[in-house]
Amino acid sequence: MEQYIQTAPSNTESNLFELQIDHEVSSHLRETAKWAKFLSIVGFVALGFILLIVIFAGSMASYSAYSSPLSAAFGYRGIFQVVLLLAMVVLYFMPCLFMFKFSNKMLQALGNNDQETLIASFRQLKLCYKYIGILTLVLISLYALIFVIGLVFAVSR
């Protein structure tokens, strides 16, 4: 391996240790950061609306107090839906936060030509994708488990 490093041309663009951020790459990163900021803000707003729906649905369920047809809709199924919506808020908050931090740090790094902030911004992007990847694996596992349980119940009948 040392031979390869010694014989490799010093001015090739394919060498990993000589990657540089030129004007075109900087432009792409700046645009990506702006879109990431937009998507994260839209995500935060959507999470806020979901929380408002949960609060409104919970207050409607307690206000109706078994005296209207609306109270039947907020039985156990309603509680399950509220818990599911709250779980969605909790699970979706972190990717929005990572994306928001990535965009802020990337724009700051490009504006100040700061290598450390650039590294920190890519760390936030890595955390965002890592979180989404783990969440995807967990959900696929849950779907597989539900499928197997359904298959077992179908065969046992």
Check whether 19 has a pLDDT greater than 90. no
Residue with the two structure tokens 């207050």: 59
Q: How high is the pLDDT of residue 33?
A: 97
Check whether 14 has a pLDDT greater than 90. no
- Within 13 Å, how many C-alpha atoms sit on residue 1's CB side? 0
Q: What is the pLDDT of residues 35-68, one digit of tens each?
A: 999 999 999 999 999 999 888 876 665 555 455 5
- Please state, in angstroms and rounded to a whole number, the distance separating the CA atoms of residues 53 and 63: 15
Q: What is the pLDDT of residues 64-116, one digit of tens each?
A: 545 555 455 555 667 777 888 889 999 999 999 999 999 999 999 999 999 99
Domain spans of the chain, in order of start = 21-125
Q: What is the pLDDT of residues 108-151, one digit of tens each?
A: 999 999 999 999 999 999 999 999 999 999 999 999 999 999 99
Q: How high is the pLDDT of residue 121?
A: 97
- The pTM of this model reads 0.74
CB-CB contact of 102 with 125 (8 Å): yes
Check whether 4 has a pLDDT greater than 70. no
Cβ burial of 128 (10 Å; 0-12, 13-18, 19+) is buried
Secondary structure letter of residue 18 according to DSSP:
G
